[in-house]
Chains A and B, each alone.
Chain A
Amino acid sequence: MSKVGQIFFRANSRHGLWTIPLLVAVCCCVGLAASTADFASRQNVLNLFAQAAPLILVSIGQMIVILVKGLDLSVGSVVSLTTGILSLNAPVYVTAPAAMLTAAVVGLLNGVAVTRFRVHPIIATLSIMGIAQGAAMFVRPSAGGTVASEIVALVSGQLFGIYMPVVWTIAAVLTGWKIVHASRFGLHLFAIGGGETAGTFGIAEQRNVLAAYVLSSCFAAAAGIFLAGRIASGDPNIGTQYAVDSITAVALGGTQLAGGIGSLHGTLIGCALLALIANGMNLLNVSAFIQTIVKGAILLLVIALQPRKNIGL
Chain B
Amino acid sequence: MTYRSSLYRAALRIPPSCIVFVVLIITLWVLRPNMMNPAILGTFARQVVPLGIVVLGQLLVISSRSIDLSAGGVILLVNYLISSGLLSSWPLPSIVLLCLGVGLAVGLINGLLVGKRRASAVIVTLAINIVLIGLVEYLANGKPPGDVPAEFRSLYNLRFWTIPAPVIFWIALAGIMSAFLGTSVFGRFVWSIGSNPASAHFSGVPVERTVVIAHVISGLMSAVAALVQTSSIAVGSVRFGPELVMNSIAATILGGVVFGRPAEVWGPLVGVLCFALLFVVMTTMGVQEPGKLIVQGLIILLAAIFYGLRSKSN
Instruction: List residues of A whose CB falls within 8 A of some B CB.
Output: 71, 113, 116-120, 122-124, 126-131, 133-138, 141, 244, 247-248, 251, 257-258, 287, 289-293, 295-297, 299-300, 303-304, 306-313
A29 CB, nearest partner CB in chain B, Å: 24
Among B66, B131, B294, B301, point to the contact of A124 (Cβ < 8 A): B301
CA distance in complex: A133, B130 (Å): 21
Question: Do A296 and B134 touch (CB < 8 A)?
Answer: yes
Question: Do A133 and B65 touch (CB < 8 A)?
Answer: no
Residue of A nearest to B309 (CB): A117
Residue B138 interfacial (CB < 8 Å): yes
Residue B117 interfacial (CB < 8 Å): yes
Chain B residues with CB under 8 Å of A116's CB are: 308
Given A134-B291, A303-B127, A311-B211, do A292 and B134 touch, yes or no (CB 8 Å)? Answer: yes
Among B118, B294, B312, point to the contact of A130 (Cβ < 8 A): B294
Among B207, B250, B253, B259, point to the contact of A311 (Cβ < 8 A): B207
Question: Do B308 and A308 touch (CB < 8 A)?
Answer: no
Residue B128 interfacial (CB < 8 Å): yes
B218 CB, nearest partner CB in chain A, Å: 14
Residue B144 interfacial (CB < 8 Å): no
Shortest Cβ-Cβ A-B pairs, 5 listed: A130-B297, A292-B134, A134-B293, A296-B130, A134-B294
CA distance in complex: A247, B298 (Å): 24
Question: Do A113 and B293 touch (CB < 8 A)?
Answer: no
Residue of A nearest to B211 (CB): A311
Question: Do B305 and A119 touch (CB < 8 A)?
Answer: yes
Contact residues of B between 178 and 201, Cβ < 8 Å to A: 197
CA distance in complex: A307, B299 (Å): 35
CA distance in complex: A134, B297 (Å): 9
CA distance in complex: A129, B243 (Å): 12
Question: Do B311 and A303 touch (CB < 8 A)?
Answer: no
Among B67, B138, B141, B292, point to the contact of A293 (Cβ < 8 A): B138
Question: Do B137 and A289 touch (CB < 8 A)?
Answer: yes
Chain B residues with CB under 8 Å of A128's CB are: 297, 301
Among B138, B298, B304, point to the contact of A289 (Cβ < 8 A): B138
Question: Do A290 and B130 touch (CB < 8 A)?
Answer: no
Residue of A nearest to B310 (CB): A118
Question: Do A290 and B134 touch (CB < 8 A)?
Answer: yes
Residue of A nearest to B212 (CB): A311
Chain B residues with CB under 8 Å of A244's CB are: 126, 130
Given A130-B293, A138-B290, do A117 and B123 touch, yes or no (CB 8 Å)? Answer: no
Question: Do B258 and A134 touch (CB < 8 A)?
Answer: no
Question: Do B249 and A123 touch (CB < 8 A)?
Answer: yes
Chain A residues with CB under 8 Å of B121's CB are: 312-313
- 6 new A-B contacts, CB < 8 A, other than A122-B122, A127-B298, A312-B66, are A122-B67, A291-B134, A292-B137, A293-B135, A303-B119, A303-B123
CA distance in complex: A313, B292 (Å): 28
Chain A residues with CB under 8 Å of B130's CB are: 244, 292-293, 295-296, 299
Chain A residues with CB under 8 Å of B72's CB are: none
A210 CB, nearest partner CB in chain B, Å: 15
Chain A residues with CB under 8 Å of B134's CB are: 289-293, 295-296
Residue B133 interfacial (CB < 8 Å): yes
CA distance in complex: A304, B116 (Å): 10
Interface string of B119-157 (1 = CB under 8 A from A): 111111011111101110110010000000000000000
B205 CB, nearest partner CB in chain A, Å: 12
Residue B219 interfacial (CB < 8 Å): no
Question: Do A251 and B123 touch (CB < 8 A)?
Answer: yes
Chain A residues with CB under 8 Å of B16's CB are: none
CA distance in complex: A247, B118 (Å): 17
Chain A residues with CB under 8 Å of B66's CB are: 311-313
Chain A residues with CB under 8 Å of B123's CB are: 247-248, 251, 257, 299, 303
CA distance in complex: A113, B253 (Å): 15
CA distance in complex: A119, B253 (Å): 11
B151 CB, nearest partner CB in chain A, Å: 30
Residue of B nearest to A138 (CB): B290
B289 CB, nearest partner CB in chain A, Å: 6
Q: Most chain-B Cβ atoms within 10 A of its Cβ — which of A137, A289, A310?
A: A289
Chain A residues with CB under 8 Å of B64's CB are: 312
Among A120, A137, A303, point to the contact of B124 (Cβ < 8 A): A303
Given A117-B304, A296-B130, do A304 and B67 touch, yes or no (CB 8 Å)? Answer: no
CA distance in complex: A127, B128 (Å): 23
Residue B300 interfacial (CB < 8 Å): yes
Residue B24 interfacial (CB < 8 Å): no
CA distance in complex: A312, B125 (Å): 11
A121 CB, nearest partner CB in chain B, Å: 10
Question: Do A313 and B249 touch (CB < 8 A)?
Answer: no
Given A131-B298, A295-B130, do A313 and B120 touch, yes or no (CB 8 Å)? Answer: yes
Q: Most chain-B Cβ atoms within 10 A of its Cβ — which of A244, A287, A308?
A: A244
Chain B residues with CB under 8 Å of A311's CB are: 65-66, 114-115, 118, 197, 207-208, 211
CA distance in complex: A107, B234 (Å): 40
Residue of B nearest to A307 (CB): B118
Q: Most chain-A Cβ atoms within 10 A of its Cβ — which of B121, B122, B137, B208?
A: B122
Question: Do A313 and B259 touch (CB < 8 A)?
Answer: yes
Question: Do A257 and B120 touch (CB < 8 A)?
Answer: yes
B290 CB, nearest partner CB in chain A, Å: 4
Chain B residues with CB under 8 Å of A296's CB are: 127-131, 134
CA distance in complex: A133, B208 (Å): 37
CA distance in complex: A291, B135 (Å): 10
CA distance in complex: A130, B302 (Å): 13
Chain A residues with CB under 8 Å of B163's CB are: none
Among A119, A135, A287, A310, point to the contact of B294 (Cβ < 8 A): A135
Question: Do A309 and B118 touch (CB < 8 A)?
Answer: yes
